[in-house]
A and B are shown apart, each in its own frame.
Chain A
Amino acid sequence: MSAKSTVVLPGDEIPASSLPKSPNKNRPLTLGPGLRHIPPNTIATTVAGALATDSRKNAAWIEYNSGRYLPITGDLVIATVQTSAAESFNCHITPNTPFATLPHLAFEGVTRKTRPQLTFNSLVYARILNAGKDTSPEITCANPSTGKSEGLGPLKGGMVFKISLGMARRLLAGRKGGVTVLDGLSEKVGFEVAIGRNGVLWVDGGSVKTTLAVGRAVQEVDEQALGEKGQKKVVERVLKNL
């Protein structure tokens, strides 16, 4: 995407010329966050941000990086267990929002007898199973079709760091996100991370020092919007101090 992006305000109508044109006529246009369809043919924005399009997927969405996280089906999140009900745990994806339910049996290899005991305020890495606006979100720690955890489950130890929603998206986007700091650090030190789209980064580096160094490095890259060179410098500095 070019540096010059189209800035939109809520209520702006997106002209057809700005929408992606898919070579495949059968592929319907997909509207992502920040856009809504007003029948018959109007596409209007609902948030302030930059218009982004993907002609291969025939999708358009608005990129923005402020505000509270809104649950979207398929997102990976780090949730906090609040209470345990008869069949499920009630979790918070972000504080002060309605509970998300996490069934007791939504973990890998769990039976009624061996269901996990999660206490108040413990963390789980989970995927959002469904998040319609009319129901409370449901999350799971196992792939419902295979029953495998695929890396999800309760998070033990480590520390969580708050990052911006945009940073979380970038970290999960792989190379496109342009975050190299974790790769750089992992060449010299070993650590585990889990990234939640709700703006939470969990790091376990084995020791307090390593964990803190990794977490803070990511936060620094986030806050100062560092590019590749800047991130390299951070990596060098962090490694020297370790």
Chain B
Amino acid sequence: MSRGRSEGRRWLDALLGNRKSMVGLAIVGAFVLMSLVGPSLVQDASAFVATPHQPPSAAHWFGTTGQGQDVFAQTVVGARLTLAVGFTCGFLVIGIGSVIGATAGYVGGRVDEGLSLLTNVFLVLPGLPLMVVVAAWLPAGPGTLLAVLTLTGWAWNARVLRAQTLSLRGKDFVAAAQVSGDGPLRIVMAEILPNMLSLMVSSFIGATVYAIGAQVGLEFLGLGDIGAVTWGTNLYWASNDSALLTGAWWTFVPTGACIALVGFGLTLINFAIDEIANPALQSETIWRKQLSVTPPPGAATPVEVGLA
């Protein structure tokens, strides 16, 4: 248990000392805060407040939609459901992925063959059309989005975590636990999972980015609850009210920029985790020096011919 904690501590320190992860954490933190307190600070996002399709002004910072709603309020309020579904889906995906991946990797044999086959089948089936087929049958809403996003998203994490479990299974500390009589469940929970925490965190972040993007795409198609205010439905209505043809860029730019910023922030955190876990990837000055060992073009002697 103590190993898990000190490991977590080391990671936290490394993350806080890394510029990329600090920028990423700041961006994501700001949006999470906005989604929590924002909706109670702005006006009713669904109310008709002014003439439709007004460009940004002092009264309506981001202008109004084709339905005469305030775009700023919609952008702020939309964050809540979108981020909630995104992060929840990230948790579900990583939960299912680690159970299936760790089981397949640790138990091996027939179980591994069966689970890997299932994983690979889900990996190879195209996600979006599958989501559409399933979502169309279910009642529109956050629950449906969660279900289809999890159904199509778990396989990638299961594959990554299985590979990592396989490599940890042969390690000495696992052998030590086996010799001291620990059961498979205890070994997976206490020895294997804590040791791939960084991988699980980065998989969780990756899954969340995927969930936000796919969710917005589905809602844009009209498969979400079009009565709710989310980032996806904002874009659905922008397109439905012909934002492109009327030149109302302000109805889709703020929402899209927010989605991209959240995704970018999460990706930055993942870059940082990658660098901390795998120092070889850091592009720092020390490494640059090593590269200068490479001979300059043209300086090479054709030794090959001489050798033959």
The answer to whether A and B come from one shared complex is: no
**Residues on A close to B: CB < 8 A?**
none
